[in-house]
């Protein structure tokens, strides 16, 4: 059985990926400091509670568990916080990724799949976004991820690392078995926030920007089911052996949905009213981000199985209902 190290495996996307890897016959080994993630989300394979700042501990873990490949999800991932505290982002996302890559090199582990982001494109010049679109991050979070992609490239060229960077668009939804789901504190992602507003956990949802040049004036994003992200990691891991000229892949459905469409979908699925307040645009929020994921389809053989916003919202709602209403 191949052992895969998941840094950040106690987090939202990591826990769903661990579950899928386990179902497919891998042994997921979770490495997480629980700064954001949850112990309850780690229910597949061994768990090492540790921080990527500790390079010796990373190397020890790679050796102890005879790790074949790494899925590197651990990061600080709040865009707003990164504007206030860039130091945290460059230390946790860049310096700690350096620790990981050096520990991997020392331990002879040559394969990595990295969690990258559409935030590295900045304001789109054309839509949908292809991987070759200009990279011009407008916040330290996006820049920190781009930096890691550059490090991966050079570790590939100089040390023979096999790597893939998956540029996720907006993850949403939850495990259909309701074992795991999205639970961040603070929560900044739209779908859980809309559900919290419907449940009265927050007084009202703030809709940032209602005067964009979009059909209903609110910002458009490409929502991708968390299990479709998990299946892309599996596909990427299975292709890592083969030398490829393509290392970076967008992951989205190619369908854009506005903030108001998300609100409508939550109202339809839950039968509850979502109180919201129209607020000014936030600095650095592009009007629309939609992925062209043709490359991932062609080269990884990846096809997102969940194409509709309602299906994503429904799995998220089922999970929140179980965890916040019982
Ligand atoms: N959620 C999204 O929509 C989205 C979109 C694009 C990219 N991403 C990227 O995907 C990855 C996972 O996102 P998520 O939503 O699951 O985030 P998450 O915060 O739920 O998970 C990240 C995990 O990393 C852990 N972690 C952070 N720093 C660590 C460190 N120094 N040492 C050990 N563990 C550490 C946290 O405790 C957490 O469990 C992140 O790298 C994020 O940047 C997420």
Asked if 122 contacts 172 with a C-beta cutoff of 8 angstroms, the reply is no
134 shares its domain with 213: no
94 shares its domain with 207: no
Task: Give the range of the structural domain holding residue 194, as residue numbers without chain letter.
Answer: 190-222+253-290+305-324
153 shares its domain with 270: no
122 shares its domain with 204: no
Q: What is the CATH number of the domain that holds 120?
A: 3.40.50.720
| Percent share of the chain, pLDDT over 70 | 99
Q: Quick count: other Cβ atoms within 10 Å of Cβ 19?
A: 22
166 shares its domain with 312: no
Q: Whose CA is nearest to atom 21 of ligand 1?
A: 11
92 shares its domain with 218: no
Our answer on whether the CB atom of 14 is closer than 6 Å to any ligand 1 atom is yes
Q: Quick count: other Cβ atoms within 10 Å of Cβ 201?
A: 14
- Write out pLDDT tens, residues 235-263: 999 999 767 778 999 999 999 999 999 99
Please calculate the CA angle 98-103-105 and round it to the nearest 5 degrees. 95
* Mean local confidence (pLDDT), 77-87: 93
* Mean local confidence (pLDDT), 35-48: 95
245 shares its domain with 265: no
11 shares its domain with 67: yes
pLDDT in the model for residue 326: 61
Our answer on whether the CB atom of 6 is closer than 6 Å to any ligand 1 atom is no
Tell me how far apart the alpha carbons of residues 163 and 149 are, in angstroms, rounded to a whole number. Answer: 9
What's the sign of the alpha-carbon dihedral 52, 121, 136, 285?
negative
Q: Select from 247, 68, 7, 292 the least CA-distant residue to 149.
A: 247
57 shares its domain with 195: no
Please calculate the CA angle 252-207-194 and round it to the nearest 5 degrees. 65
Across the chain, what does the average pLDDT equal? 96
In a domain, 176, yes or no: no
pLDDT in the model for residue 244: 75
In a domain, 78, yes or no: yes
In a domain, 75, yes or no: yes
Residue positions annotated with a catalytic role: 141
Our answer on whether the CB atom of 10 is closer than 6 Å to any ligand 1 atom is yes
Q: What is the CATH number of the domain that holds 200?
A: 3.90.25.10
Q: Whose CA is nearest to atom 32 of ligand 1?
A: 51
Distance of CA 300 to the CA centre of its chain: 18
55 shares its domain with 201: no
- Write out pLDDT tens, residues 104-118: 999 999 999 999 999
pLDDT in the model for residue 63: 98
| Confidence tier at 30 by pLDDT (50, 70, 90) | very high
Q: Which residues contact 150 (CB under 8 A, 6 or more apart)?
A: none
Our answer on whether the CB atom of 33 is closer than 6 Å to any ligand 1 atom is yes
In a domain, 96, yes or no: yes
Angle, to 10 degrees, between the axis of helix 226-239 and the axis of helix 12-23? 60
Our answer on whether the CB atom of 152 is closer than 6 Å to any ligand 1 atom is no
List C-alpha distances in Å: 129 to 132, 137, 169, 251. 8, 14, 10, 11
Q: Of the residues 6, 7, 13, 232, which should be mutated to test ligand 1's pocket, given the most ligand atoms within 8 Å of the CB?
A: 13
- Write out pLDDT tens, residues 195-249: 999 999 999 999 999 999 999 999 999 999 999 999 999 999 999 976 777 899 9
């Amino acid at each position: 059985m191949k052992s895969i190290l998941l840094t950040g495996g106690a987090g939202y996307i990591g826990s769903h990926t661990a579950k899928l890897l386990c179902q497919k016959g891998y042994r997921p080994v979770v490495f997480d400091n629980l700064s954001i993630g949850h112990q309850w989300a780690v229910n597949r394979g061994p768990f090492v509670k540790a921080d990527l700042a500790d390079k010796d501990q990373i190397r020890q873990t790679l050796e102890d568990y005879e790790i074949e490949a790494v899925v590197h999800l651990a990061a600080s991932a709040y865009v707003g916080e990164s504007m206030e505290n860039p130091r945290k982002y460059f230390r946790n996302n860049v310096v700690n990724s350096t620790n990981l890559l050096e520990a991997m090199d020392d331990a002879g582990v040559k394969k990595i799949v990295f969690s990258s982001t559409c935030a590295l494109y900045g304001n789109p010049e054309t839509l949908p976004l292809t991987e070759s679109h200009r990279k011009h991050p407008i916040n330290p979070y996006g820049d920190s991820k781009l930096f890691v992609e550059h490090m991966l490239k050079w570790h590939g060229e100089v040390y023979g690392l096999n790597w893939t960077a998956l540029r996720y668009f907006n993850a949403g939804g939850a495990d259909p078995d309701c074992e795991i789901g999205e639970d961040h504190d603070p929560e900044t992602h739209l779908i859980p926030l809309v559900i919290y507003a419907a449940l009265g956990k927050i007084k009202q949802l703030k809709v940032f920007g209602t005067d964009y040049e979009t059909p209903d004036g609110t910002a458009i994003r490409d929502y991708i089911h968390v299990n479709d992200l998990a299946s892309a990691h599996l596909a990427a891991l299975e292709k890592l052996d083969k030398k490829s000229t393509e290392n970076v892949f967008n992951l989205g459905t190619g369908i854009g949905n506005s903030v108001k469409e998300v609100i409508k979908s939550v109202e339809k699925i839950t039968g509850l009213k979502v109180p919201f307040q129209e607020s000014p645009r936030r600095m650095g929020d592009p009007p629309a981000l939609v992925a062209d994921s043709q490359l991932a389809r062609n080269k990884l053989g990846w096809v997102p199985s969940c194409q509709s916003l309602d299906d994503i919202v429904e799995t998220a709602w089922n999970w929140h209902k179980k965890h916040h209403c019982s």
